[in-house]
């Protein structure tokens, strides 16, 4: 099948070293105005990247994606083909995306799922911070033998 599409790079776009942008097969591959692309990013055929997006190093974007405006993708993110990433979405580093992401969504993980606020990763580990056994206070106020040393 002949590749008849083009690569259209709009104004004020920065493309890092070793980045590959595939020409469109049936439609154009478009990089929106003001987008910043770090080193070693692979952009597949027919991908449309919106305006003012940030793509960190070593991202792989499969073909026919639509990425909205003001999207931020962390390093080593991989996104499957034919998906839509909504305006203002954020994907944390080293995530694998196999589903559409709604506008302003914050996703992460492998496979990527919605995350809470920036402390979402820490909240998952909060149960690990509890003592192994409850500390019981004695009548004299001590904890029953602790020397206070760590």
Q: What are phi and psi of 53, to 5 degrees?
A: -95, 155
**Among the ranges 2-11, 63-72, 128-137, which has the highest mean pLDDT value?**
63-72
The total number of residues shown for the chain amounts to 150
Q: Which residues contact 71 (CB under 8 A, 6 or more apart)?
A: 49, 50, 53, 54, 85, 86, 87, 88, 89, 90, 91
Instruction: Quickly state the pLDDT bin for 1 (edges 50, 70, 90).
Output: confident
Catalytic residue among 24, 45, 49, 67: 45
Please write the tens of the pLDDT for every residue from 74-124. 999 999 999 999 999 999 999 999 999 999 999 999 999 999 755 444 444
Instruction: Quickly state the pLDDT bin for 129 (edges 50, 70, 90).
Output: very low
Q: What local confidence, expressed as pLDDT, does residue 39 receive?
A: 97
Structure tokens belonging to residue 16:
């890092």
**Active-site residue flag, 82:** no
- Which is higher by pLDDT, 11 or 127? 11
Please write the tens of the pLDDT for every residue from 26-54. 899 999 999 999 999 999 999 999 999 99
């Amino acid at each position: 099948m002949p590749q008849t599409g083009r690569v259209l790079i709009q104004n004020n776009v920065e493309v890092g070293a070793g980045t590959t942008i595939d020409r469109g097969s049936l439609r154009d591959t478009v990089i929106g105005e003001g987008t910043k692309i770090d080193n070693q990013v692979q952009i597949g055929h027919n991908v449309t990247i919106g305006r003012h997006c940030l793509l960190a190093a070593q991202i792989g974007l499969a073909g026919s994606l639509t990425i909205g405006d003001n999207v931020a993708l962390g390093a080593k993110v991989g996104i499957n083909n034919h998906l839509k990433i909504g305006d203002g979405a954020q994907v944390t580093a080293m995530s694998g995306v196999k589903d559409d992401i709604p506008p302003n969504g914050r996703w992460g993980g492998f496979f990527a799922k919605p995350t809470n606020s920036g402390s979402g990763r820490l909240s998952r580990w909060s149960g690990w911070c509890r003592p192994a056994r409850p500390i019981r206070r004695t009548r004299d106020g001590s904890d029953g033998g602790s020397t206070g040393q760590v």
